[in-house]
Structure 1
Amino acid sequence: MSVRKVRYYLFLKDILVLSVTAFGGPQAFLAMLLERMVKARAYISEDDLWELNALCNMLPGPSSTQLISAIGFRVGGPNLAYLALIVWILPATALMTFAAVLISFLQENTPGALNFALFIQPMAIGFIIFAAQKTISKMVQSTEAMILMLISAFVSFFYSSPYIFPVLLIIGGVSTSIKYKKQPKLEKDAPLKIEWANFYLWAGVLVLAAILGGVTKYHGILLFENFYRNGSLIFGGGQVLVPYLYTEFVDFKNFLSSEEFLTGYAISQAIPGPTFSIASYVGALSMRSGGSLGIIFGGLIGAAGIFLPGIFMIFFVIRFWDQLKVYRPVRAALEGVNAVSCGMLIAAAYLLFEPLEPNFINIFFILSTYAMLQFTKISSPAIIAGGVTLGVIYHQFF
């Protein structure tokens, strides 16, 4: 076996280890990447890691997955990057699809099947509030951004259509890009040269899925288009994905109940790997009418639809990023996009709470979950496991 093949094998093995051990959110994930990819293996330099991380945070899609793929692209080109993508997302998407199979089975065969999730549903709201607080403190740094965030929260709450989100993102980006003169000037080493192949691939899949869905009305194709469109619009990581999916699949299309969605979101916080894997759960339950095979197929559709657009975009931009980032309007627009995403998070926290009964127990578990995340070092899986245990005990004895 050649030295190159051995290196590629080790790289994929390292990705697999990360995919089953990456608990604790973006900060813990980055620390693990730094230790394994930079210090232990020297696949890339530390400066390259931080720059690629910044780039992925500036693009729509799952930033952790894009970062894994970007590192794979630097190490071994597109083929290794796609293999790294599959290895990275497979454990989490398989677990979330299995969770959907299990919940569907329990609901059909056991009365009160989701009683074990009695407490983890309000706990999911606590996770959203914690994610919103962390995201807002990082992304909202000016008065203009604060105003955009509040407007976005207001509009997202009162007009919870999935089609309003891209409009808000565009308005937010344009409104701050006009302040580009406040951005520092960077030296342009060479004229901007763009290779459009991956952009055409991204746009072509989007248009083709929309046309095929409109013509055939086949549920699987329509579902793929829904996820692909959402995956093309998400800035800010997995927590920002939640209001999109909730609005589209719970409020707008009624494919899932609020109870099922909150249970799935809580489970996604207790497993390693990308948070975007919740799409597999949502997709699986959206196709439960097809039985167990339909659920598994829906999980695959959810994973493909949500992850592919971000991968196409990172492959498109990484080739000319060094030239693009010197343009001040590009950097200025990100402030507005991020602020709008934060507003959607605020709206999501309330929209997810709205179906729950506003009693003492629900409010207690929301606040307790937030407090444990904010002020203790208890891991997310341990918090969720505790909530499930309490739910089972409560169901048995009360």
Structure 2
Amino acid sequence: MSERSNSEVKSCDSAWSVFLIFLRLGLTSFGGPIAHLGYFREALVSRRQWLSERSYAELVALCQVLPGPASSQVGIGLGLSRAGFAGAVAAWAGFTLPSAIMLILLAQGISAWGGAAPGGLLHGLKIVAVAVVAQAVWGMARSLCTDVARVTIALCATCAALVWPTALGQTSVIVCSALAGWVLFKSTPPPAAEKLPFSVSRKTGLIALTVFFALLLGLPLLAQVWPSQVLAMVNAFYNAGSLVFGGGHVVLPLLQSATVPNGWVSNDTFLAGYGLAQAVPGPLFTFAAFLGASMTVQPSGWVGATVCILAIFTPSFLLVVGVLPFWQTLRHSARSQAAMGGVNASVVGLLLAALYHPVWTSAIATPSDFAFALTALVALMFWKMPPWLVVLGCGLFGWLLTAMQTSG
């Protein structure tokens, strides 16, 4: 039996070391995507010098204009730079598995409790989701809606999403907003930057982009031609992963419209899971694992979670690999930058619509609920408390409040 070559051994060892480094990050990275990027920079750029500061800034810029979870995509890119495609998979797995496993276990716990689950606990988790989404809307609006045109696009997106609350409606809003930005905005491309040190050929990039669009267009057709719950789930979560611009919170309306109206999960379970997703480290997209494990249809549990988590993250791999070889050209296209301005404004509107329905309408029923949500928002925005602590406090407070009302 022939031995592996030195390069193969080195590649394998590098991928394993990448996995261990990102596993540590996945266990400790609280605070959302901006915080994740800070953790990556400190651990991999400053300390280990995998990339230069300028190259890391370019990688972050690339992932911020792509749909999908920016921090996970930056992690994929970092793994790719260190150990090739095996390193990209290792980085994603290490960063994603901790929060995915935690959320699957929590979902199974909620399913097992059933009616025994403290009602106040779940209500508290729904209320904290109001505060989290409101914070995201405010922060994104301040940075992405900076003039009258962008505010108008955001307003139109909000109205359209409320009137046409389907995945197709939200996709149409994003496309129309890109066209509006392409026409309305004059973007000045950034100055020349350092070329990214990734050995991905244009041929490989074209193959990845072809597969991405083939799945995006083909999965809905396959789901209609061969009706299958697995195909329906893959289609819904792949589309969500393909069309989310502006950060993990924007996945909320896409996943809600795909899962709750179809009866795959209840709205209460959906919002409770979204609240729990704030309390675990790692990427918010692992909320898909909670939903897959909570399905009232089969597959559910660990199988359903695996299907959903792979489906929602597959576009990230394909887009990072597909766009990398063409990034320098795209980066300096004024029209591309203008279209992205329209898209970014529209995602603020989509998230604002989601803040009203289903988040607000499902959680805020009394003045005490509003006071509860307002306190959580202040804790996040002004007291600068960590999200996991706010989630834990809201869940416990909701449980105690309900217990007091019941006993009284």
TM-score by length of 1: 0.92
CA distance in 2, matches of 1:185, 1:22: 30
Distance 1:206 1:279 in 2: 18
Partner of 2:318: 312
1:203, distance to aligned residue in structure 2 (A): 2.4
1:151-190 alignment, distance < 5 Å: 151-179=156-184, 181-184=186-189
Whether contact under 8 Å (1:117, 1:387) holds in the other structure is no
The answer to whether the Cα contact below 8 Å between 1:71 and 1:81 also exists between their aligned partners in 2 is yes
Relative to 1, partners in 2 of residues 1:182 and 1:196: Cα closer, same or farther, differing over 3 Å?
A: closer
Do 1:89 and 1:273's aligned partners in 2 also have CA atoms closer than 8 Å?
A: yes
Match of 1:221 in 2: 231
Distance 1:146 1:72, change over 3 A: same
RMSD: 2.3
Structure 1 residue aligned with 2:262: 253
Change (3 A) 1:57 1:105: same
SS at match of 1:271: coil
CA distance in 2, matches of 1:237, 1:201: 23
Following TM superposition, by how much is the alpha carbon of 1:7 offset from its aligned partner in structure 2, in angstroms?
4.4
Structure 1 position 95 matched with structure 2 position 102 = yes
- Amino acid across the alignment from 2:345: A
C-alpha deviation, 1:381, in angstroms: 0.8
Q: Secondary structure at the residue paired with 2:362?
A: coil
Q: CA deviation at 1:212?
A: 3.4
Q: Which residue of 1 aligns with 2:220?
A: 210
Distance apart, 1:228 and its partner CA: 0.5
User: What's the offset of the Cα at 1:204?
Assistant: 2.9
Provide the C-alpha distance between the structure 2 equivalents of 1:116 and 1:180, rounded to a whole number of angstroms.
Answer: 46
Structure-2 change in CA distance of 1:229 and 1:27 (3 Å): closer
Structure 1 75/300 Cα, relative in aligned 2: closer, same or farther at 3 Å?
same
2:386 maps to what in 1? 379
Output the CA distance in 1 between the equivalents of 2:297 and 2:264. Answer: 10
* The 10-residue stretch of structure 1 (326-335 or 112-121) with the greater mean CA deviation from structure 2: 112-121
**Pairwise CA distance, 1:11:** 2.5
After superposition, give the CA deviation of every residue in 1:111-143 in whole Å (9 maximum; x if it has no partner). Answer: 454432222211110110001111111111221
Shift of 1:166: 1.3
- From 71, 76, 83, give the equivalent of 2:78: 71
**8 Å contact kept, 1:179–1:329:** no
Whether the 8 Å contact between 1:209 and 1:221 is mirrored in structure 2 is yes
Q: Which deviations, in whole Å up to 9, do the C-alpha atoms of 1:338-378 show, x marking residues without a partner? A: 00000001111100111335311210111111101111121
> Structure 2 counterpart of 1:156, which letter?
A
2 CA distance for matches of 1:54 and 1:102? 39
Q: Deviations over 1:297-344 (max 9, x none)?
A: 111111011111122111100112012211110111110000000000
Aligned AA (1:258): N
Give the Cα separation in 2 of the matches to 1:307 and 1:143.
34
Counterparts of 1:371 and 1:188, CA distance in 2: 39
Contact 1:185/1:326 (8 A) holds in 2: yes
Counterpart in the other structure of 2:30: 23
- 1:53 deviation in Å? 0.9
State the match for 1:50 in structure 2: 57
Which residue identity lines up with residue 132 of structure 1 in the other structure? V
Is residue 2:59 matched to residue 1:62? no
Match of 2:336 among 318, 322, 330: 330
What secondary structure is seen at the aligned counterpart in 2 of 1:319?
A: helix
Deviation at 1:247, TM superposition (A): 2.1
Residue 301 of structure 2 corresponds to residue 295 of structure 1: yes
Query: May I ask how many residue pairs the two structures share in their alignment?
Result: 391
Residue 179 of structure 1: CA displacement? 4.2
Query: What is the aligned partner in structure 1 of residue 368 from structure 2?
Result: 361
Offset, 1:211: 3.8
User: 1:210 deviation in Å?
Assistant: 3.0
2:354 corresponds to 1:344: no
2: CA distance between counterparts of 1:267 and 1:16?
A: 20
Contact 2:182 2:336 in 1 (8 A): yes
Distance in structure 2 (CA, Å) of the matches to 1:171 and 1:210: 21
Residue 180 of structure 1: how far off its partner (Å): 5.6
Greater shift, 127-136 or 350-359, is seen at 350-359
For 1:157 and 1:125, how far apart are their aligned partners in 2?
A: 17
Partner Cα separation in structure 2 for residue 184 and residue 199 of structure 1: 24
**In the alignment, what sits opposite 1:198?**
208
Are 2:33 and 2:70, in contact at CA under 8 Å, matched by a contact in 1?
A: no
Question: Hey, what does 1:118 align to over in structure 2?
Answer: 123
Q: Does the CA contact (< 8 Å) of 1:188 and 1:323 recur in 2?
A: no
CA shift in 2, pair 1:395/1:184, >3 Å = closer
Q: Answer with 225-234 or 111-120: which moved more.
A: 111-120
* Secondary structure of 2:292's aligned partner: helix
State the distance in 2 between where 1:359 and 1:196 align.
53
Name the amino acid aligned to 2:139.
K
Q: Is the 8 A contact 1:69 1:81 kept in 2?
A: yes
Matched, 1:278 2:287: yes
Shift of 1:68: 0.3
Question: Which residue matches 2:401?
Answer: 394
Deviation (angstroms), 1:175: 1.1
Give 2:113's aligned residue.
Answer: 106
TM-score by length of structure 2 reads 0.90
CA distance in 2, matches of 1:82, 1:112: 37
**Cα distance in structure 2, aligned partners of 1:181 and 1:119:** 45
Unaligned runs of 5+ in 2: 1-5, 196-201
Does the 8 Å contact 1:176/1:333 carry over to 2? yes
Q: Does 1:9 align with 2:16?
A: yes
Deviation at 1:207, TM superposition (A): 4.4
1:67-104: CA deviations, max 9, x gaps? Answer: 10011112222221122112221111111122211111
Tell me the distance in 2 between the aligned counterparts of 1:185 and 1:247. 37
Distance change >3 Å, CA 299–CA 4, structure 1 → 2? closer
